[in-house]
C-alpha cells in the first residue's frame, strides 16, 4: 500500500484498481480495513483503530483516497467533500476518441439507475436528476488513446464516466459505459490524480498527488506529457 500523506488527523493512500473503499455484499476486504491494519501495526496500537471514510472512488478506479484517523475530523472532512468548498479534485482519464474541443466545461443532469448501478447524463433536467459539472483538458494523445485531465465541480455517482460517454468519449476498459474490451486487471483507465484542500485543523493548503498504475498505456501517456 502506497501512503501519499499522513498526519495526526488524516491518511491518504493510492488506491489500486479493483479495491473497495468500504465493505459491501461481496465480502471482499475493503481498503478501509487494510488501512486500519496498517495503522495498528505501524503504531503498535492496542484494541480497535479508528478509520473514517469521507469520500469514495468507484471500485475499478485508482488514485488518491483520504481517510480520517479520528472521529472528530471525519465530520469536517465530510463537509468539505459534500459542499465542494476549499477543495480541488483532479482526475485523469484515458479515452478512445478525442473530444471535439481541446477544453470545455460539461454541465449535465445525471439520473442514477440503482438496478443497473449506472448513471445517465441528460442535457435538460428531468425527474430525479441532479446537476453535474466538470471541466476537461485534452493533454496528450498516443496512436490509439487520448488523455484528459478533469476537474470535478460536483460529486455525483459515476459522474465522469457518464458525462464523458455523453460526449462520445469512452474510458478504456469501462465495459459498463460502452468500451468494447475489459482491462486485464478489471479496472478502468480513470485515476484520481490530485486532491488539494484546506486542512480543517491545520488551516493550510494540502496537495496530494498519486501516480497512475504502471501499465503500457499509462506509461506511454506519462512519457508523452514529460517530453
pLDDT, tens digit, 9 for 90 and up, residues 163-176: 999 999 999 999 99
- pLDDT tens-digit map of 143-152: 999 999 999 9
pLDDT tens per residue, range 22-81: 877 777 899 999 999 999 999 898 888 999 999 999 999 999 999 999 999 999 999 999
Name all domains of the chain by residue range, CATH numbers in brackets. Answer: 3-226 (3.30.2350.10)
Q: Per-residue pLDDT averaged across 190-211, rounded? A: 96
Residue-wise DSSP of the chain: --EEEE-SSEEEEEEPTT--SS--TT-PPPHHHHHHHHHHHHTT--S----B-S----TT-EEEEEEESSTTHHHHHHHHHHHT-SEEEEEEEEESS--SSSEEEEEEEEEEETTTTEEEEESS--TT-EEEEEEEEEEEE-SS-EEEEEEESS--TTHHHHHHHHTT-PBTT-GGGT-SS--TTS--SEEEEEEEEE-TTT-SEEEEE-PPP-SHHHHHHHHHHH-
**Percentage above 90 pLDDT, the chain:** 89
The string of pLDDT tens digits covering residues 129-143 is: 999 999 999 999 999
User: For the CA atoms of the chain, what is the radius of gyration?
Assistant: 18
Distances in Å between the Cα of 171 and the Cα atoms of 46, 148, 174, 182 are 44, 10, 6, 10
Q: Is the dihedral of CA 83, 89, 94, 100 positive or negative?
A: positive
Residue 83: its pLDDT value, please? Answer: 86
Q: How far apart are CA 214 and CA 43, in angstroms?
A: 30
Q: What is the pLDDT of residue 5?
A: 98
Q: How large is the average pLDDT for residues 192-204?
A: 95
Amino acid at each position: 500500500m502506497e501512503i501519499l500523506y499522513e498526519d495526526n488527523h488524516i491518511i491518504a493512500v493510492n488506491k489500486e484498481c479493483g479495491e473497495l473503499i468500504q465493505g459491501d455484499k461481496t465480502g471482499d476486504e475493503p481498503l478501509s480495513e487494510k488501512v486500519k491494519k496498517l495503522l495498528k501495526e505501524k503504531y503498535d496500537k492496542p484494541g480497535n483503530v479508528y478509520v473514517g471514510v469521507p469520500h469514495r472512488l468507484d471500485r475499478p478506479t485508482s488514485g488518491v483516497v483520504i481517510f480520517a484517523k479520528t472521529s472528530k475530523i471525519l465530520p469536517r472532512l465530510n463537509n468539505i467533500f459534500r459542499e465542494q468548498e476549499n477543495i480541488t479534485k483532479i482526475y485523469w482519464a484515458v479515452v478512445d476518441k478525442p473530444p471535439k474541443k481541446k477544453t470545455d466545461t460539461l454541465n449535465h443532469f445525471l439520473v442514477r439507475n440503482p438496478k443497473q448501478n449506472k448513471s445517465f447524463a441528460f442535457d435538460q433536467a428531468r425527474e430525479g436528476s441532479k446537476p453535474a459539472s466538470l471541466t476537461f483538458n485534452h493533454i496528450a494523445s498516443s496512436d490509439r488513446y487520448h488523455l484528459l485531465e478533469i476537474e470535478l465541480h460536483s460529486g455525483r455517482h459515476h459522474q465522469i464516466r457518464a458525462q464523458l460517454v455523453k460526449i462520445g468519449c469512452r474510458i478504456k476498459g469501462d465495459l459498463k459505459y460502452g468500451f468494447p474490451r475489459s482491462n486485464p486487471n478489471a479496472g478502468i483507465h480513470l485515476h484520481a490524480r490530485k486532491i488539494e484542500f484546506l486542512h480543517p485543523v491545520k488551516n493550510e493548503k494540502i496537495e496530494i498527488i498519486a501516480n497512475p498504475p504502471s501499465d503500457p498505456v499509462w506509461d506511454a501517456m506519462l512519457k508523452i506529457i514529460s517530453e
